[in-house]
Amino acid sequence: MLAIHSIKNVDQLNLKLESTLEELPVWTIQIETDHPGNELAKLFEEDPLLPGIILTKDQKYVGMISRRLFFEQMSRPYGLGLFAGRPIEYLYNFLQPKTFVCPEDTPIVEATQIALGRSHKQVYEPLVITDQSYQYGLLDFHQLLLANSQIHVLTLNRLQKEKEKARIAKADFHDLQHNYSRLLQNDKMIALGQLVAGIAHEINNPMNFIYGNLNYAIEYVKDMLYMIECYQQEPSYVDVVSQAQEKGIDIEFIIEDLPKLLSSMKVGATRINEIVLSLRNFSRLDQAEIKSVDIHEGIENTLIILKHSLKAKPDRLEIELIKEYDKLPLIKCYAGQLNQVFMNIIANAIDALSESDNLILKTRKNLQIRIRTELTNDNHVTIHIADNGSGIPEDVQKRLFDPFFTTKPVGKGTGLGLSISYQIVVEKHGGQLHCISKPGEGSEFIIKIPVVFNKLE
């Protein structure tokens, strides 16, 4: 519906960025072309703001004559005499004015651009606006410019607000990025803390073998050195033994116990060496790039580090480890990152079996973690890591790999372990990682990676 000309200023309108010509005031004054030309002059004189008049013939739209074009022609010699008394149709045919007809649903900004693109003689002419029922009205070009200016101001304000929103969003993004980095670092520190605690526990036992026997070894060596000195003075074995017994030295016991003591210390040193070697292999500091590695070796190194967590505790049975390894080829991969995946998933399985307040686990006769590997027909390796815990609810399974999602108590986890594992397997290695679980029956994580690895960009 065309707006009538009683609203004579667009400043009274509440325009928006997407406003159309329908919202602007138009003039709807019409006259039949068979009327004499001087009636046009009367209509223009009655309303000095009238930009033009719509011409009709038999009540049908013919065209438009603007105020500027009419008075320009009437002011010429003989203009008034030629056209004042004759039908307006003569004047219209003589002038043949070009009119710009625009649908009312045209956006104001678009109509302004089109209007300004007219020739310099036509640029200030009013626009003819038509609606869906083919009613016509005239829009003053200056009113169109005022409306466009108002929208321009609105656009600038909107841009300013959007810039401010973008600035705030950018700041929020930096804060989020910072918080993510902080939480990621926190998760790494938690994992590192657990790793260090496990290593400390594992190293503590063999160190006790060495440290506890060291004083005895020193005493034995001192006694042996004393006996050697005695031999230098008394070549008789019986006399040396007698002197040693007088000083409280039991040579027979030393001969029997010293090899056992040294053997115990050797076992402790060997154990420490195995742990250090496992740590080096686990971290793969010398294999930061893609290398061909033995997947089983990575799993075993992970299990050595987590061995202390499998042992029985006052509130939990020992966790039985079942390994079913298929014969696998060497796999090209980022070994250190895959070891991190094994660590995250196996550690989560241990946590799932360590819920002391879980009624389902209290009824278990044994707690198990089963690790199974196989080579598939499509030249992929799958690693199945399953536990017989209480399982994962279906609604939780859908969010397992979402960043920051965790079911652990506050301070026990950040919800990044499985998310990072998913990125490593899927994005870094082009593989698959998913979980199968039934509440009350346990959970199984399946890692599937290609044997022939093509580095992802």
Return the SS3 of 402. Answer: coil
* Residues in a beta bridge with 385: 371, 445
pLDDT confidence of residue 445: 93
pLDDT confidence of residue 457: 46
Cα 179 to Cα 57, 155, 182, 187, 404, distances in angstroms:
74, 35, 5, 12, 11
Choose the weakest-confidence range: 6-10, 61-65, 74-78: 6-10
Q: Report whether pLDDT(35) > 50.
A: yes
Residue 321's H or E segment, with its range, is strand 319-324
Return the SS3 of 53. Answer: strand
Other CB atoms within 10 A of residue 98 CB: 12
Choose the weakest-confidence range: 85-99, 120-134, 245-259: 245-259
Burial 55-75 (b: 16+ CB within 10 A, else e): bbeeeebbbbbbbebbeebbe
Q: Which residue has the higher pLDDT, 304 or 234?
A: 304
Which residues lie below 8 Å from residue 198, measured CB to CB, with a gap of 6+? 305, 306, 307, 308, 309
105 exposure class (CB count in 10 Å sphere: 0-12, 13-18, 19+):
exposed
| Backbone conformation region of residue 271, classed left if phi is above 0, alpha if psi is from -120 to 50, else beta | alpha
> Which two three-digit tokens encode residue 228?
């050697």
Return the SS3 of 387. Answer: strand
Q: How confident is the model at residue 245 (pLDDT cuts 50, 70, 90)?
A: confident
Q: How many CA atoms lie within 13 A of 273 on its CB side?
A: 6
Q: In angstroms, rounded to a whole number, what is the distance separating the alpha carbons of residues 14 and 224? A: 107
Place of tokens 């400043």: 11
Q: In angstroms, rounded to a whole number, what is the distance separating the alpha carbons of residues 1 and 24? A: 11
Q: What's the pTM?
A: 0.47
With beta carbons less than 8 A apart as the criterion, state whether 136 and 54 touch. yes
291 exposure class (CB count in 10 Å sphere: 0-12, 13-18, 19+):
middle
- pLDDT tens-place string over residues 148-166: 888 888 888 888 888 888 8
> Mean of the per-residue pLDDT values for the chain?
80
- pLDDT tens-place string over residues 71-110: 888 888 777 778 888 898 888 888 888 888 899 999 999 9
| Backbone conformation region of residue 59, classed left if phi is above 0, alpha if psi is from -120 to 50, else beta | left
Q: In angstroms, rounded to a whole number, what is the distance separating the alpha carbons of residues 245 and 232? A: 17
Q: How confident is the model at residue 390 (pLDDT cuts 50, 70, 90)?
A: confident
Other CB atoms within 10 A of residue 233 CB: 9
Phi, psi of 48 (to 5 degrees): -65, -15
- pLDDT tens-place string over residues 162-197: 888 888 887 777 777 666 666 656 665 555 556 666
pLDDT confidence of residue 196: 62
Tell me the mean pLDDT in the region 111-134: 87
Tell me the mean pLDDT in the region 411-436: 78
Q: In angstroms, rounded to a whole number, what is the distance separating the alpha carbons of residues 123 and 127? A: 10
* Terminal-residue alpha carbon distance, the chain: 58
Q: In angstroms, rounded to a whole number, what is the distance separating the alpha carbons of residues 275 and 283? A: 12
- The pairing of strands 442-450 and 432-438 is antiparallel
With beta carbons less than 8 A apart as the criterion, state whether 144 and 115 touch. yes
Q: Report whether pLDDT(452) > 90.
A: no
- pLDDT tens-place string over residues 214-232: 777 778 777 777 666 666 6
Phi, psi of 348 (to 5 degrees): -65, -35
Q: In angstroms, rounded to a whole number, what is the distance separating the alpha carbons of residues 307 and 343? A: 12
- The pairing of strands 127-130 and 101-103 is parallel
pLDDT confidence of residue 262: 78
Q: In angstroms, rounded to a whole number, what is the distance separating the alpha carbons of residues 292 and 298? A: 12
